[in-house]
Amino acid sequence: MRRRVFLGLAAAMGALTGRASAAEAPGFTFPSIDGGELDSMAWRGQPVLVVNTASLCGFSGQLREMQSLHETYGPQGLVVLAVPSNDFNQELATGAEVREYCEMEYGIDLPMTDILPVARGEVHPFYAWVRQQTGFVPKWNFAKVLLGPDGQVIGTWNSFTRPGADSIRQGFAPHLRG
């Protein structure tokens, strides 16, 4: 009985403070690099790999791997989201330039946000939530956050972990269709 009361109070406090329970991750909207918005709630029920990118970074070859994951596992439900950021001074000046460069250099057609702050200053609410939930803050470009179908963080990785690394694949593989 005491445990049930405590859990009820904890749930009520979560609701009052605006914090989502473990089963209810919040949804986020991102400005799309193509205009309009990308809504993470549209991806509920699917694993989502979120990567902060930068066109002029030495790790930008990872964009090729991100595109490969998108093509290979996208039909099975994996969403790969590129989040261009200039937090580390290695991104082009505008979203249009980023989109053109990524299409021409890497053949990117996966979803991309407009240029967003992810680690410094007033970061996008998604990255503030990831920090609050896990303590993870991108230390450089090409940091990865994997969300499960419920929107909760499954894992985080630094720039040196490639998008197709076994640890990342093992995180999303159980959640793929077919």
The set of catalytic residues is 57
Q: Which long-range contacts (CB under 8 A, 24 or more apart) does 89-97 make?
A: 90/54, 90/55, 90/56, 90/57, 90/141, 91/53, 91/54, 91/55, 91/56, 91/115, 92/55, 92/56, 95/33, 96/33, 97/55
d(CA 74, CA 171): 15
Q: Which residues contact 98 (CB under 8 A, 6 or more apart)?
A: 33, 55, 84, 91, 92, 112, 115
Q: Which residue is it, tokens 């990872």? A: 62
Helices (H), the chain: 2-17, 62-73, 95-106, 125-134, 166-172
